[in-house]
Structure 1
């Protein structure tokens, strides 16, 4: 983990880290992103593959309103970023075609928002949601700000997966031998996914964790399915 990612991880997790509370983690991520990127606000919405909204957080009431509007209206940069799996960067809302978001753009303008930047929270084929960064002034993100925003999205997703894995691990019952058995099964599954996808072991581990999170399953159960060949990973696996 580089210095930028390490600093952001500390901001998101808090000192000491706050375990088992994704809502608190998301709120800290939003506040830290808004402050670091000199934005008027930042919001995160967790979404399913079908586009349904799960938990969400915002750095301030105006941003919460802007996030809510996108889901009430069914349009906006958050939707586009999630669907396209790519950042949506709008440095000047006034220059966007009225046909793109016919209801959202006027509402955002009336609320004083002039620029919005949306970054999907994703890992491989798995998407968990979107980080939105809002500004009351027009203008693009600098190169450094863009890298920082992308790092916020990446670190937030990783922290969520770690929290999910930690909660599952602490829920295990049994003695040390049982725990070691679970860990060995996970390592075996990581090796199998590494071969299936042709990726490094770190990415294989991340894909298994992302799958477990997205499907609301325990990490050990997913690992067991991989080992017993009930689950096979490919690059398009949701």
Structure 2
């Protein structure tokens, strides 16, 4: 059976009613990718036209959490794959050496001990990456890299086809950009703008302040951003030296 047929079969196995809507397509694709490749988790992200990183969905709560950890740390294999356009293979030692902040969060907060990040060709909303997670570093060597690259192409094609055969506006994006993970991150970027204006700093510094606050508290940027937007936190709480 071809990889395409195997992927279709894996996708069919993850067609639960709660994943039927277009907004759940990335989660279904992530589950199918993890299933077919025999990995412990998978997640999809993209970088939009403004250079903002957006999670699309993960195969499991831990896979989704790992993406939020990368965004909080501001570093990690996925970001490296998106920036360079090259695959990234990282076991625990590599994670600690290259991305110590992310390694601290990932190794302390999940069971994952290795990551493979594969860049995805640009789709209708921008370039992205497929993250594959492993609970045993030794399992990275057993990954069928050819199959993983092919799955990445199939994932991009599925997202592109879904966008092509549906109606959407540039402001909102395709239906698969309306799921909980993209909406949560959209709120985080909104909080960056709010903090930038309130403290009269540029957006890069505002994001750095959110990241520092989240990391110090053992939380994620998405969580701190939600509190900032609903008034549970004040921008002054994040002012340097405040």
Q: What is the TM-score when the length of structure 1 is the normalising length?
A: 0.60
**What is aligned with 1:12?**
11
Correspondences of 1:1-238 after superposition (within 5 Å) = 3-12=2-11, 21-90=21-90, 92-96=91-95, 98=97, 100-110=98-108, 111-123=110-122, 127-139=126-138, 140-142=140-142, 145-168=144-167
**What is aligned with 2:207?**
none
Q: How far did residue 112 of structure 1 move?
A: 2.6
Q: How far did residue 216 of structure 1 move?
A: 5.4
Q: How far did residue 86 of structure 1 move?
A: 1.1
Evaluate the alpha carbon distance shift between residue 94 and residue 216 of structure 1 in structure 2; reply closer, same or farther with a 3 A threshold. Answer: same
SS of structure 1 residue aligned to 2:7: helix
Q: Gaps spanning 5+ residues in structure 1: where? A: 172-211, 218-238
Q: Rg: which structure is higher?
A: 1
Number of residue pairs aligned between Structure 1 and Structure 2: 170
Q: Considering only aligned residues, what root-mean-square deviation do their CA atoms show, in Å?
A: 3.4
Evaluate the alpha carbon distance shift between residue 87 and residue 127 of structure 1 in structure 2; reply closer, same or farther with a 3 A threshold. Answer: farther
**Separation (CA, whole Å) in 1 of partners of 2:65 and 2:85:** 24
Q: What is the TM-score when the length of structure 2 is the normalising length?
A: 0.59
SS of structure 1 residue aligned to 2:112: coil
Q: Gaps spanning 5+ residues in structure 2: where? A: 175-242
Flag the structure with higher helix content: 2
